[in-house]
Chain A
């Protein structure tokens, strides 16, 4: 396997993710997941250490990194007031794809999702499950080397959820690395390897099966509760909470 990325935020945050791997990035609220993702996607710089994503140095070549990554999060991914096709065109354009290529990929994409009839519909009119699947397809349309997913299947129904994970498997089979952050532990069970972060450190990193064995647990959730329990300190900048004003 090819060494794909290397990430060092401090002495305790050291990990590698491989090509075509589905990597689960877990952590309690405020454990530092967001910071880590920002550094990985070239949005902010690490204070020390070396970060290599998709073969590029995050400090020296952030623009190259941005061209080679995809990103999808649960809350925002597509413009609700544009149609499906307009959204696809927009993202293709942002990533500098040629018009002809965008058109070709749009066709493939819509066919694959059985989306033909939805091409001219507004995103806001689509059911949640379809939106999620479409958002993911768009995020990997430019064939990035790695795609970051933030809680991708939160709140979708079980069938859609499985279709979504099959899409992720299919993407990984094309050698695109899938980097999933979530605090839903059953989502973690689907990953090839997972890391668990707590208070800025990675406290566990292995396959779900190994971790369960190691911690004598039935599920990743149990592992998580065993090792990621942070003290009762509130975190000044919560990573994910539903209140406003952050």
Chain B
């Protein structure tokens, strides 16, 4: 045990001595979350807004014009009934729907108030809040104008946030699950494979092999620090996305963390597997990037929806562990579903992790050549 702890201590020293490793470990997740977060969701310019005008009178026209001439929004589709709302959102063509109640203009004059609703897409919570705030501000402005005219009365705005959680994996609000998936595979697989091949390249592995350390101890010793660091990373990313973008974990946090551990384990064993087939750090980095990073970005549904891919790619995507983790994490974080909805994906990951661990321990050579 003392041997093992000594080994783990050495691994931590390596990590903390190497500035670049630290930057990769903690800098990249932060930067990615911030970049994706801001680039993707806060650009409110000419956002398309659909109108469901059940009254269609002079006043509703005026309000619509004011909203659309603000520069923040532009007129999107004109809807005819409630059923169209879901459809347009799903087509991902609009950011918000504004609904005027029946007899809007008449009610405003006779009752002194009329209601309108704003429906936004809650899967982009950041954007939803932003849009609601802007429209409310425009309407408040309109109310002020009304107060100065003969028409007395007040427009009541009822913001309504609907959850279009986008079950078809479309849209780009998925950056948090995507980033977690990517970061974990990057840290776990890339870092572990590099640290093992580094020992091979520098000739220190020879002496480790000659020492009484068992292969399992070497592997676990290599894996342990990265397991811890990855776990810290998950928590960091979740905190960051919650604090900066207000994205909460809707489902069980415990379940999410448990699933993350499973995924981390799978990635780590993948890293060891890579190290057993590569002789140099360069090879390990190459395999990790081409074999893991690119597929994770391109094929896991992180950026490009899987069902838009030609069928062959879909099959390849099915072999990518990140795909399953993205599904799991989206379910828990965004839909707030429980284990019952993700048990299949969990099973797939468990099988993959066990296979990789078994393979990597088997393939880890106790000798050279």
Footprint of B on A, CB under 8 Å? 243-245
A245 contact set on B, CB distance < 8 A: 202
Expressed in whole angstroms, the minimum distance between the Cβ of A243 and any Cβ of chain B is: 7
B201 contact set on A, CB distance < 8 A: 244
For A244, give the chain B residue with the smallest CB separation: B202
With the chains together, A243 CA to B202 CA distance in Å? 7
Expressed in whole angstroms, the minimum distance between the Cβ of B78 and any Cβ of chain A is: 66
B180-215 interface with A by 8 A CB criterion: 201-202
With the chains together, A244 CA to B202 CA distance in Å? 6
Can you sample 4 A-B contacts with CB below 8 Å?
Answer: A243-B202, A244-B201, A244-B202, A245-B202
Expressed in whole angstroms, the minimum distance between the Cβ of A55 and any Cβ of chain B is: 43
B202 contact set on A, CB distance < 8 A: 243-245
For A243, give the chain B residue with the smallest CB separation: B202
For B201, give the chain A residue with the smallest CB separation: A244
One digit per residue, 1 when the CB lies within 8 angstroms of any chain A CB and 0 when it does not, for chain B 194-238 equals 000000011000000000000000000000000000000000000
- A contact patch SS: loop
With the chains together, A154 CA to B201 CA distance in Å? 22
With the chains together, A65 CA to B201 CA distance in Å? 37
With the chains together, A102 CA to B201 CA distance in Å? 38
With the chains together, A243 CA to B203 CA distance in Å? 9
For A245, give the chain B residue with the smallest CB separation: B202
Expressed in whole angstroms, the minimum distance between the Cβ of B285 and any Cβ of chain A is: 16
With the chains together, A245 CA to B202 CA distance in Å? 9
Expressed in whole angstroms, the minimum distance between the Cβ of A191 and any Cβ of chain B is: 33
Expressed in whole angstroms, the minimum distance between the Cβ of A113 and any Cβ of chain B is: 32
With the chains together, A102 CA to B311 CA distance in Å? 55
With the chains together, A187 CA to B127 CA distance in Å? 75
Expressed in whole angstroms, the minimum distance between the Cβ of B33 and any Cβ of chain A is: 33
With the chains together, A244 CA to B205 CA distance in Å? 14
For A242, give the chain B residue with the smallest CB separation: B203
With the chains together, A245 CA to B14 CA distance in Å? 13
With the chains together, A245 CA to B203 CA distance in Å? 12
A243 contact set on B, CB distance < 8 A: 202
A244 contact set on B, CB distance < 8 A: 201-202
Expressed in whole angstroms, the minimum distance between the Cβ of B294 and any Cβ of chain A is: 26
Expressed in whole angstroms, the minimum distance between the Cβ of B13 and any Cβ of chain A is: 15
Expressed in whole angstroms, the minimum distance between the Cβ of B20 and any Cβ of chain A is: 13
Expressed in whole angstroms, the minimum distance between the Cβ of A241 and any Cβ of chain B is: 13
For B198, give the chain A residue with the smallest CB separation: A244
With the chains together, A245 CA to B201 CA distance in Å? 11
With the chains together, A243 CA to B201 CA distance in Å? 10
With the chains together, A243 CA to B198 CA distance in Å? 12
For B202, give the chain A residue with the smallest CB separation: A244
Expressed in whole angstroms, the minimum distance between the Cβ of B127 and any Cβ of chain A is: 48
Expressed in whole angstroms, the minimum distance between the Cβ of B207 and any Cβ of chain A is: 13
Expressed in whole angstroms, the minimum distance between the Cβ of A81 and any Cβ of chain B is: 15
A-B residue pairs, 3 tightest by C-beta: A244-B202, A244-B201, A243-B202
With the chains together, A244 CA to B201 CA distance in Å? 9
Expressed in whole angstroms, the minimum distance between the Cβ of B59 and any Cβ of chain A is: 75
With the chains together, A36 CA to B307 CA distance in Å? 64
Expressed in whole angstroms, the minimum distance between the Cβ of B225 and any Cβ of chain A is: 20
With the chains together, A134 CA to B202 CA distance in Å? 29
With the chains together, A13 CA to B201 CA distance in Å? 38
Expressed in whole angstroms, the minimum distance between the Cβ of A117 and any Cβ of chain B is: 30
Expressed in whole angstroms, the minimum distance between the Cβ of A50 and any Cβ of chain B is: 41
Expressed in whole angstroms, the minimum distance between the Cβ of A245 and any Cβ of chain B is: 8
With the chains together, A244 CA to B282 CA distance in Å? 14
